[in-house]
Amino acid sequence: MASKVIHAIYNDDDLLLQAVKQVREARYHIGEVYTPFPVHGLDKVMGLAPTRLAVTSFIYGVIGLTVSVLMINYIMIEDWPQDIGGKPSFSFLQNLPAFVPIMFELTVFFAAHLMVITFYMRSKLWPFKKAENPDLRTTDDMFLMEVDAASHNIDELTKFLYDTGASEIKLIENK
């Protein structure tokens, strides 16, 4: 069974935002929107759920802090205590001010690196992955809205999209 999508190309981001609102109000399904730069408010207009990346970043920071505390305690207190600068290593709390920079750096290190890995996995950006951009002009100066047309009248949908301000429309049939 072949699926049909319509690629509507717009030349202005404000026009695209209005078109997305109109298409959603008309109850058409928008598959994806491709833009050359982030468009403020597009996620809300499309009805996308808020991201949970901030929560994962906090969790990764806590993991980094935990690893740093355990590592410092093992290395500097239990395994090989040393008298550095006249400060004996009898307990973790006595030397806590000296350990704060290391704990901070490892917290940031874990949060940053694990967030990059999470972003690539969530975006499905694997090494050597083929680009999925349907029109190269969307990396330059055009905006593309992909509308599912499988269960709709193509001519009616095309006219509707032209009325929203689309400068070009293509019917794509996937087999």
If one compares 123 and 101, the residue with the highest pLDDT of the two is 101
Residues 6+ apart with CB under 8 A from 125: 119
What pLDDT is stored for residue 94 in this prediction? Answer: 82
Entry pTM:
0.71
Of residues 133 and 35, more confidently modeled: 35
Comparing 44 with 1, which gets the higher pLDDT? 44
Query: Can you give the pLDDT at residue 33?
Result: 94
At 31-82, the pLDDT tens digits run 999 999 999 999 999 999 888 888 999 999 999 999 999 999 998 888 887 7
Q: What is the mean pLDDT of the chain?
A: 89
